[in-house]
Structure 1
Amino acid sequence: MRVSVIQMNQGSDKAANLEQARRLIEAAIEADRPGLVSLPETWTNLGGGRESRRAAAEVLPAPGAEGGPAYEMLRGLARRHGITVHGGSIIEDGGEKLFNTTLVFAPDGSEIARYRKIHLFDITAPDGTGYRESALYGAGQDLALFEAGGIRFGCTICYDMRFPELYVALREMGAEAILVPSNFTLQTGKDHWEALLRARAIDTQCWIVAAASYGTYEERGATRSVYGHSLVADPWGHVVAKCSDGVGWATARLDQAVTRRVRAGMPLPEHRAAARAWRDKAPS
């Protein structure tokens, strides 16, 4: 199965972001004929502050009902082109709290997965810039997987990648590939982005499919930068496709024969079971 990771430079203008995403997805489909396309994290809005995020948020419909502009665009692209569309994440209006939420649509336009980001980005960057995602967003509680092209995909979002136990849990639930839509800061990205994604591929022996935002955006009068470098890594940890700087996409083929070969040669689940037995015997 071929997958394309879409790299965007979104801002606070939701309509412009929707048009940029549509244009890039359709260009990737025309050029590379993927069976699945993946967008970055919160591709409908980046920057502009609280008011801008709330204005971009959408109330998500019950399955089969009509949704907001981003929801319907993703569903329409999936149906029109007969592919699976992984909508990175959009801002979900959950009432009192917003949620950072992934939506996935099958080739017939039906919604097949919904995932709310579990690990919220509450950190201080090396330059002293603070990020407090929990001030506006609620945390998800549930894992989500779906099937496309005969491959079982697990859903994560950005900061989730720093928690390998989540990825191991997805592998134990049958994941062969894990999606990681992201807005990774430039400061952390240049040191950690590729290292973490390759590590999660090696930990789980899964394909890692990571679409990311690139460039600068304005946040309450300050200019912030996101790293980009959207990539696909194979189950051995090799990066097999990567975006250059700027907007665009990268495409790779997920080969299940590679997955089987890596897993047969190094049976990590068996070895992990032994490690857990040792941990359970350790004194508290």
Structure 2
Amino acid sequence: MRVSVIQMNQGSDKAANLAQARRLIEAAVEADRPGLVTLPETWTNLGGGRDSRKAAAEVLPPQGSGEPGGAAYEMLRGLARTHGIHVHGGSMIEDGAEKLFNTTVVFDPAGSEVARYRKIHLFDITGPDGTGYKESALYGAGDGLVTFAAGGITFGCTICYDIRFAEEYLALRKLGAEAIFVPSNFTLQTGKDHWEVLLRARAIESQCWILAAASTGQYEERGAQRSVYGHSLVADPWGHVVAKASDGIGWATARIDPTVTARVRRDMPVLEHRDARPVAL
């Protein structure tokens, strides 16, 4: 299966973000003919503050109901149907009534929702420059792991800061994952030092393909300019980066080859070795 990771420079204008995502997905489909596309984290809104995020949030229909959703939800569903592909919607802002959630939705080629994942690990940190981030002030945390099948491959869902928690990736591997999504808005300062290192490490440890669509460029947050790292990429189960987006908006495409996954796992059976250890570590 060919997968395209879409790299966006979204802002606080939701309509403009939807138009940018549509344009990039359609261009990637025309150029590379992927069977699946994936977007960055919170591609419907980045910046503008609390009110902007709440305005961009959508109430999601009950999972599996087939009921209509908001503008972003329906755009993803329509693109999946029109192009006959799976669409992994990066993450969008879900209106959960009491709190918002940072949520992934995935559609199959018929436009049916086949997966929904809420980000588990929330970004409450202080950056190297002293800038504070407190995702939990606005968002609730998810509490469940999610996988889905497409093209004979089992995919696992994570979002951005989850990448720092290796146990989540091992748990997805144990659930059968062969490829894992990491849609992200990595900050420039953490990204330049940690982004590719972490993605390759999770690929090596889990022996899964890592599919990381990221936001790039600058955005405004309560009057201040912030920068995100970009460098969307695909890494194979050996940790090689097999595709990477250039600076600026665009995409990168790679073929997920199950024979590579099988060979890596056969020749270095780390999961079996882990389960066979005589004592808990």
Provide TM-score, normalisation by structure 2: 0.98
The amino acid that maps onto 2:199 is: L
The amino acid that maps onto 1:51 is: D
1:35 aligns with 2:35: yes
Q: 1:92 aligns with which of 91, 94, 100?
A: 94
The amino acid that maps onto 1:151 is: I
Distance in 1 separating the partners of 2:153 and 2:255: 12
The amino acid that maps onto 2:214 is: A
Distance in 1 separating the partners of 2:232 and 2:243: 8
> What residue in structure 1 maps to residue 70 of structure 2?
68
> What residue in structure 2 maps to residue 180 of structure 1?
182
> What residue in structure 1 maps to residue 15 of structure 2?
15
> What residue in structure 2 maps to residue 230 of structure 1?
232
Gaps of 5+ in 2: none
> What residue in structure 1 maps to residue 45 of structure 2?
45
The amino acid that maps onto 2:156 is: G
3-state DSSP class of the match of 1:279? coil
Distance in 1 separating the partners of 2:164 and 2:96: 25
Q: Identity of aligned pairs, percent?
A: 80
> What residue in structure 2 maps to residue 279 of structure 1?
280
Deviation readout 1:135-174 (Å, 9 max, x if unpaired): 0000000111101111000000000000000000000000
Distance in 2 separating the partners of 1:271 and 1:134: 37
3-state DSSP class of the match of 1:59? coil
The amino acid that maps onto 2:96 is: G
The amino acid that maps onto 1:101 is: T
Q: Map of 1:109-124 to 2, 5 A cutoff?
A: 109-124=111-126
Q: CA deviation at 1:182?
A: 0.2
3-state DSSP class of the match of 1:43? coil
Q: CA deviation at 1:87?
A: 0.2
Deviation readout 1:182-232 (Å, 9 max, x if unpaired): 000000000000000000000000000000000000001110000000000
Q: Map of 1:148-163 to 2, 5 A cutoff?
A: 148-163=150-165
> What residue in structure 1 maps to residue 241 of structure 2?
239
Q: CA deviation at 1:27?
A: 0.1
> What residue in structure 2 maps to residue 196 of structure 1?
198
The amino acid that maps onto 1:155 is: C
Q: CA deviation at 1:272?
A: 1.1
Distance in 1 separating the partners of 2:181 and 2:159: 8
Distance in 2 separating the partners of 1:174 and 1:273: 15
Distance in 2 separating the partners of 1:97 and 1:170: 26
3-state DSSP class of the match of 1:278? coil
Q: CA deviation at 1:274?
A: 3.7
Q: CA deviation at 1:49?
A: 0.2
Distance in 2 separating the partners of 1:67 and 1:274: 46
Over 3 Å off, 4+ runs? none
Distance in 1 separating the partners of 2:274 and 2:226: 40
Distance in 2 separating the partners of 1:149 and 1:31: 20
Q: CA deviation at 1:248?
A: 0.1
> What residue in structure 2 maps to residue 258 of structure 1?
260
3-state DSSP class of the match of 2:101? strand
Distance in 2 separating the partners of 1:271 and 1:191: 31
Distance in 1 separating the partners of 2:72 and 2:170: 31
Deviation readout 1:99-118 (Å, 9 max, x if unpaired): 00000000000000000000
3-state DSSP class of the match of 1:79? helix
Q: CA deviation at 1:278?
A: 2.3
Gaps of 5+ in 1: none
The amino acid that maps onto 2:51 is: E
Q: CA deviation at 1:279?
A: 2.5
